[in-house]
Each structure stands twice: as C-alpha cells, then as structure tokens.
Amino acid sequence: MKIQSYRLIRWINNFILYFILTFFALVMIFPFLYMLATSFKTPADTFRYPPHMLPRNAATIAVTGYDEPLPLYKVDVDGQPKEYALAKSNIKVGTYAPADNLTSTVERYLTEVKPTGGAMNQQKVSVNGKEEKLFDVDVDGKIIPMILISQTTVGEFIDPQNPENKVFQNVRLSEPVEDFGAHPENYTEVVELNNMARALTNTALVTILVVLGQLVTSVVGGYAFARLRFPGRDTVFVFYLGTVMIPFVMLIVPLYQLMVLIGWTDRLAALIIPWMFTAYGTFLMRQHFITFPKEIEEAALLDGASRLQILTNILIPASVPALATQATFTFLYAWNSFFWTLVIINVGNEKNHVLTLALNVLRGRASDTPNLILAGAAIAIVPPLIVFILGQRFFVESVASSGVKG
Amino acid sequence: MFAVPFSVIPALVLSNVLNSKLPGMKFYRAVYFMPSIAAVVGISLVWQWLYNATIGYINYFITLGIEFWNNLFNLAVVDPKIQWVSDEKTALFAVIIIAAWQTMGFNTVLFLAGLQNIPGELYEAATVDGAGPWDKFWGITIPLLAPTTFYVVSTTTIQAMQVFEQVFILMNPAEGPNNSTITLVLYLYRSGFQNFKQGYASAIAWVLFIVIFGLTLIQFQRQRQSSIYES
C-alpha cells in the first residue's frame, strides 16, 4: 500500500514537471511555428480574425457542366449543414406582395417578372399614400399583380454530386469551406522582390570567410602563444586577451573611422576582415594546445617535420571538437550580425546587402504582407537553426562549461 | 535592463526541473536554447506581428483568457486590446518580453551546469536529516548556486544594456512612443551615424563601457573569491 502511494506521488510529480517543461517549450517554440506557418499563407489569410495557425485556401470543386472548379460554401439545406458549390452569383431576387395583402410575400427573380401593362405603360397602385409600380407575378400558374417590397442579391448554390439540387442564399453571409493550402511561392516571391538572393549569397560568403578566417587565425595564433618562444610572448598574450573585455559598442566609432580612412565603407570587406581575428578563440585554442602532450611534437620535430606540418597533421586533426565549437559560435554570430552592417553598408546599395539588412528593408517595403516578411525572416532564421541542430552537442556543452569556469 | 528578473527567475525554475534525470530532458534543453541562436532581426519581425493589436496572437490569447475567465465566474472584465508597440506604457514591456524570451534558454543551460556541479551527497545528507524539497532548495541549491547566479545576472545585465536590434526593428520610430524605448546603443547609433556627432557617440560608448567594465570586474572578483573558497 505504501509503495503504491509512493509511486502515485512520483507519477504526479513527474506529470507536473513535464507539464511545466512543455508549457515553456511551447512558449519558446510558438513564435517559430507562427513564423513558418504564416510564411506559407496568402496575404488575406494572414489578416483574418480570429487568427488560425495553418495556412488555408478557399476550397473548390469540379462540377460536371461547368468549365472551371467552383468555390465550395457551407449552406443550410432543410436544416442540415451541407457543402454546396457556388454556381452563379449576383442573382437579383425581389420580394413581392399583393397591394391589398402585404404579408403574403413571394420571392421571384427580377428577370422572371414583367411590369403589369408593359414596360412603357406600367400600372401603378397607391399603398399607404405612396405610388407603387405593379408587376405581374406568376403564382401557381396564375398571374397576380403585385408590388416590389424589397430586393436582394443571392447566389445559386448547387450540390456537387447532383447539380439539380439548388439552394439560394446570400453569398457574402455564407461561410466558405476551407482546406489546408500552403503557398511556397511566397519564398520565391520574396527572393525576387527584395534582392534576397543577392543578400543570401552575400551573407553566406561573409559568414564562411569569417568562420574560416577565425579558425585559421586562432589556430595559428593559439599555437604560437602555446608553443613558440619569442621575446615578450606572454605580455603580448595578456594584451591580446585583454581585448575580450572591450565590448563591441566601444569599437564601433573608431572602427568606422578606420574603415572610412582606408576606403572600405560600403564594401563587404568591412564585414569580413575586421572580424577574422578573435582574441577569445585564440585563447581557447591556446588552452587547448597547451594540454597537448609535448613529446609527440618533439618526436615529429626530430623526424624533420616543420611547425606547419605538425600543426596540420597532428594538432588540427586532434582538435576537431574544439574547432567545431568555435566554428558554430562564429557562424551564428556572423550570420546574425546587424548593427555593424547597418552602420557600414549603405542602405541604398542593395548589391552589398546581407540578410539582416535586407530584412530591415523588407519590413518597410512589405508591411501589408506579413506572409512575405515572415518568409524573409524564415530564410534568415532557418540556416542557423540547422547549424545549431548539427552542432548542438558541442555548442550547449561549451556554453555550460563557460558558465562554470567563467 | 528590467528584462533581467524576467529572464533569470524562470530560467532558475526550469533548470531545476531539467536537472531531474527524466527521459527527454536533452530535447527540452535544445528547444529552450533555440531563441538565443536565431537572428534577432528575424525574431523581432516575428514578434512584431505577434504583438499586432488587431490580428496578433498575443491579444488573441488575452481575449480568449478573459472570455474564459468571464464565463467561469460570470464577470464582465473588459478586453483591454493592448496596443503593444504604439502605447507608451506597454512599448518597453513588449521589448522586455522579447529580450527575456530570448535569453531565458541560454540562462537555463548555464544554471543547469551550475546545478550539476553541486555534489549529490549534500542532498542525500539533507534528506537523512529530514529536509523537505523546499528546505533543500533554499538551504543547498540557492547558496551553492550563488556564483552561477551572479554570472548569469551580470551577463544578462550586460546584454540587456546593449539592446538595439529589438527596438530598432519593433518600434517605428525606434525610440518608441515618446522615447519610451530608447536604449543607449540606439542613442549612440542616432548621434554617431545619423547626426554624425561621432565624438558624442564615443562619449556614450565610454559611459556604457565603464558600467560594463565595472560589472565584469566585480564578476571576476567574485569568481576568484569563490574559487579560493572551493579549494
């Protein structure tokens, strides 16, 4: 009995834990899902209230006797909800009643009803002190002169299985049937509309070069600081590492003026070259190389290997996880950077735009089509997510260790 | 900067939950991490539409919640229909929510690492002494997690002080209604690169630097103390 209740308590406990976790997971993931779902919608669909998640299309159906597929609507047939196709819209219907009995009304198409006494010489009757025109209305084969009380526009809805079954009702008040319909063409449209293709290649180019550059400089620099002996090495290292303490905002004005000086404003080089050096990465590689056993290197040196050969043949293959971690970090940073690009790249010069800048332009240009904006956002967000999923193991663990060791 | 408690406190709770060795925790950890790696510009665009006063999901959820509440207790609470970004009172709060949402997962992972460094024997000893889960949390977890907490709080603060993209994208103009969402970095950008008063911009950068540097120094000192304490 006791074990039973212990189990029950543990089960409830776990249930609460998972509930909390799932709730927060939903909060975290919802904006991403919203972004992806909306990026596949039509513009009209995005402005609907209440909002719905999945992209929808108005459903259509092919009916025999009609060339084009007809839109489907929900209609009420003898009290039963059915899905009928709209065959004809804009049919004018009048409500008619005899002048002496206004409550007994009939509904007829305006085209079926002829004016009493002919169109040129239409008879009139006085109802409640007002002159009303008389029309010949056919009721069960008998022609009765009646007056027009009101007039509406309806649509003709037919049963798709049996087009003989017809229902008439107001089109605007009818609810269309919708089915799931994604619009991947939003992506091609946004790429064409906004020079996004160019921005995407630029971003990829910048990111790859920055990642490669950082890897090369931090491997070479880290090795020099770890193994080579030269005067003032440790002082230089402390100064180099000290630059980690300087936040980026401090650098932005001097860096901008430097770029002006060497004429790199509005050039992609300004996005690449200054970012190829990383004190933090060099520090990490140095720490990594220092732990590497010296004996292996000494043996290689005795065998006549050069320093470069040692680096490429022994050290780099042995430090793939560390390099992968650094590459993931750098990739995310370079791909997502915005402030520096905003400062250095001219907004008007679209051929040097990177994705984040293009998104900023798109935000102003397509503010009435959220589907396009969010498609653009998805183009910017999905590649880092993929890199994150691939490099997750390295990434999350290294963040964790940075928090413990500092 | 007010984003700090909103980001840190849920992160602390979540990390404690994640620390329970149940299956699937790695999955949740990865999900929580997602916001912190996505492009801030893209994220801000997404949130801009979520915040939309008429068709946005956030107001829709609020409406649903209020309807549910009204039906449950037969009340007539009026739906506020918050104009998130164009109302002076809520604009800053909207930015805070995004910043907190974005840093929460990162902080959760940091806390988790700190938690896993706490020796399990302490908890066992406490259980033997008859401590409940609540006592253990306040008596063991909080004090031993203090170095991590300090690290998390100071890095989140440093990040929060450099907020720029969120306001730049979300607000139109970026200062928000009545300058309610102006940040130091935005001010720096406006004065240095739009009004071309670069000296003034440098002065702003120095102010920011001194504050950040001070925080980092305190953080280093705390870390040294705690490592002496440990050894």
Interface of A with B in 46-105 (CB under 8 A): 46-51
Pick from A335, A338, A385: which is nearest to B165 by CB?
Answer: A338
In contact, B39 and A380? CB cutoff 8 Å? yes
CB contact (8 A) between residue A356 and residue B39? yes
SS3 A184: coil
Window 179-218 of A, Cβ < 8 Å to B: none
Among positive and negative, which fits the CA dihedral A110, A116, A120, A121? negative
The helix (run of H) or strand (run of E) holding residue A107 is strand A106-109
Q: A384: number of CA atoms within 13 Å, CB side?
A: 30
Give the ipTM.
0.81
Question: So what's the pLDDT on residue A251?
Answer: 83
Considering the four listed CATH numbers 1.10.520.10, 1.10.3720.10, 3.40.50.2300, 3.20.20.100, the one that applies to the domain covering A194-365 is 1.10.3720.10
Q: Which residue in A190, A374, A359, A174 sits closest to B55, CA to CA?
A: A374
Q: Does A274 touch chain B (CB under 8 A)?
A: no
Closest CA to B1 of B156, B118, B147: B156
Tell me whether residues B165 and A339 touch, CB distance under 8 A.
yes
Q: Which amino acid is at A180?
A: F
> What is the per-residue DSSP string for A277-344?
--HHHHHHHHHHHHTS-HHHHHHHHHTT--HHHHIIIIIHHHTHHHHHHHHHHHHHHHHH--HHHHHH
A17:B164 CB<8 A: no
Q: Rounded to an integer, what distance in angstroms lies between the CA atom of residue A219 and that of residue A277?
A: 11
Closest chain A C-alpha to B109 CA, distance in angstroms: 6
User: CA of B46, closest CA in chain A: separation in Å?
Assistant: 6
Q: Which residue is closest to B227 within chain A, CA to CA?
A: A405
Q: d(Cα A377, Cα A363) in Å, to the nearest integer?
A: 10
Q: Please give the Cα distance from B212 to B220 (Å, whole number).
A: 12
Mutate to test the interface with B, among A11, A17, A19, A24 (most CBs of B within 10 A): A24
Tokens 């590459």 sit on residue: A327
CATH architecture of B3-145: Orthogonal Bundle (1.10)
As a whole number of angstroms, the distance between CA B195 and CA B188 comes to 10
Query: In chain B, which stretches have pLDDT less than 50?
Result: 231
A244 touches chain B (CB under 8 A): no
A143 in Cβ contact with A98 (< 8 Å): no
- Residues in chain A within 8 Å Cβ distance of B148: 403-404
Which own/partner contact pairs does A180-186 have at CB distance under 8 Å and 24+ positions apart? Answer: A180/A54, A180/A55, A180/A56, A180/A57, A181/A55, A181/A56, A181/A57, A182/A40, A182/A55, A183/A40, A183/A41, A183/A42, A183/A55, A183/A371, A184/A40, A186/A39, A186/A40, A186/A41, A186/A371, A186/A372, A186/A375
Q: Which of A49, A247, A389 shows the shortest C-beta gap to B209?
A: A247
Separation in Å, CA of A253 to nearest CA in chain B: 6
3-class SS at B9? helix
Taking an 8 Å cut-off on Cβ atoms, the answer to whether B110 and A363 are in contact is no
Q: What's the pLDDT score for residue A405?
A: 43
Tens digit of each residue's pLDDT, chain A (406 residues): 556 777 888 888 888 888 888 888 888 888 888 888 888 877 777 776 667 767 776 667 777 777 777 777 777 777 777 777 777 777 777 778 877 777 777 777 777 777 777 767 777 777 777 777 777 777 777 777 788 777 777 777 777 777 777 777 776 666 667 766 677 777 877 777 767 788 888 888 899 999 999 999 998 888 888 888 888 888 888 888 888 778 787 888 888 888 888 888 888 888 888 888 888 888 888 888 888 888 888 888 888 888 888 888 888 887 887 888 888 888 888 888 888 888 888 777 777 788 888 888 887 777 777 788 888 888 888 888 888 887 776 666 666 665 544 3
Q: Do A249 and B185 touch (CB under 8 A)?
A: yes
Q: Which of B49, B61, B165, B167 to mutate to test the interface with A (most CBs of A within 10 A)?
A: B49
> How many contacts does A have with B, using Cβ atoms within 8 A?
188
> With an 8 Å Cβ cutoff, are B55 and A46 in contact?
yes
Chain A residues with CB-CB distance to B206 below 8 A: 250
Please name the residue of chain A whose CA is at the shortest distance from the CA of residue B13. A20
Q: Give the DSSP letter of residue B139.
A: I
Average pLDDT of every residue of chain B? 78
pLDDT at site A213: 92
Burial letters A119-134, b for 16+ CB under 10 A, else e? eeeeeebeeeeeeeeb
Q: Phi first, then psi: what are they for A94, rounded to 5°?
A: -110, 150
The closest alpha carbon to B183, from B194, B168, B198, belongs to: B168
Residues of B in contact with A363 (CB under 8 A): 45, 48, 169
State whether B193 and A46 contact (CB < 8 Å): no
CA proximity to A158, closest of A213, A209, A82: A82
- In degrees, rounded to 5, the angle at the alpha carbon of residue B75 between the alpha carbons of residues B74 and B77 is 150
Closest-CA residue in chain B for A394?
A: B30
Give the residue among B20, B15, B44 at the shortest CA–CA distance from B109: B15
CB contact (8 A) between residue B49 and residue A38: yes
Domain boundaries, chain A: 2-57, 58-180, 194-365
Q: Say if the Cβ atoms of A360 and B169 lie within 8 Å.
A: yes
**Closest to B34 in 3D by CA, of A74, A30, A21, A211:** A30
Half-sphere exposure at residue A36, Cβ-oriented, CA atoms within 13 angstroms = 7
